[in-house]
Amino acid sequence: MPVAARLHAVGDLRVEQIAPLPPPTEGWSTVEVTSVGLCGSDLHWFTDGGTGEVTLDRPVVPGHELAGCALDGPYAGRRVAVDPAIPCGVCEQCRAGHGNLCPDVRFAGHAGLDGGLQERLLWPDHLLVPLPDGLSDDAGALLEPLGVAIHAVGVAHLRPGDDVLVVGGGPIGVLAAAVARRTGAARVLVSEPLPHRRDTARRFGADAAWAPEDTPSAVHALTDGRGVDVVIEMAGADDGIGTAVSCARPGARIALGGIPSVPLSSFPAAPARRKALTFAMVRRMHGTYPRAIELATGGIDLDALVSHRFPLADAPQAFAHAVARTGDKTVITVSG
């Protein structure tokens, strides 16, 4: 019998046998899952039972950063990354080309749709992305968070020569800093409380990284009191939004990409109003896999972001380790 890691309740992740998959229908393929990265949103599901207003109401197999090998369909025998979002394709947003805004989107490991922490899954053919030989399976799985970082930089309307601050130096924040560097930012700065993640941010191209309590004074000293042109927030906490507001110059743009544990976020409205700041929300990603592959094969070393690997049998330990945030990216090796 096949095996999966299924989340039953807060902190209750069980590695258990599941029913075999049915044969694929037209337009779908069977994928043997090889690598799954653990995202901050996965950790919210594990520790909080959901993200924001969406909560765990039935057991689900987590995992939306994933790669594997197609066993049938048009990519049979090829290694593939799996785009985890399945838009409906017929709503107004989908027809306008904004599938990431589809109100009826189904998402791997979310709200009842089983994700990647299972030996095999069925997935639509058009959401499978063949991997070049130069990318490992782990890197294939991490194309998804790299895609989120690419989308965040795009939402921020970063222009060459801008000074950029990334608030939150977890894996997506680090990748956002790397993407900002390659988009032409003059200086890339990072605010992150954990020293080892500040070191990782510097390795991935940040010019400087500071603890949150030191960031506003350091940013204003570096910019002669002006502040930065763009802030990309990936902390998912009100304090992080406050840091963004404090460090932004008048007229700056702040892209909010962090996922908070609760539905409501707040920010310092008075200084934000005086600076006439623009806030933009980052909703996952859309159409970023070609650019992600280009960057991953052209200098952004996704394998170097992986600090710890666990087998599927040790998925509960992998989640507990990732929650402790003693490393960077945690990957679960499912098969292969």
Residues of the chain with CATH 3.90.180.10: 3-143+285-333
**CA–CA gap between residue 2 and residue 301 (Å, rounded):** 32
d(CA 304, CA 120): 26
For residue 238, what are its two tokens?
């009100």
| Mean per-residue pLDDT, 219-226 | 97
Contact between residue 292 and residue 313 where contact means Cβ atoms under 8 Å apart: no
pLDDT of residue 262: 79
Predicted local confidence at residue 48, as pLDDT = 85
| Percent of the chain whose predicted confidence (pLDDT) is above 90 | 91
Q: Which two tokens stand for residue 265?
A: 């976020």
Kindly report, as residue ranges, where domains of CATH 3.40.50.720 are found in the chain. Answer: 147-281
Contact 145, 65 (CB under 8 A): yes
For residue 115 the two structure tokens come to: 């994700």
For the segment 47-96, what is each residue's pLDDT rounded down to a tens digit? 988 776 777 888 999 999 999 999 999 999 999 999 999 999 999 999 99
For residue range 140-177, what is the model confidence (pLDDT) as tens digits? 999 999 999 999 999 999 999 999 999 999 999 999 99
CATH number of 3-143+285-333: 3.90.180.10
- pLDDT > 70? residue 336: no
Q: Under a CB-based contact definition with an 8 Å cutoff, are residues 267 and 241 in contact? A: yes
Rg of the Cα atoms in the chain: 20
**CATH code matching the domain that covers 147-281, chosen among 3.90.550.10, 3.40.50.1470, 3.30.70.360, 3.40.50.720:** 3.40.50.720
Residues 6+ apart with CB under 8 A from 245: 254, 267, 268, 271, 272, 275, 277
Query: pTM score, two decimals?
Result: 0.95
- pLDDT recorded at residue 111: 74
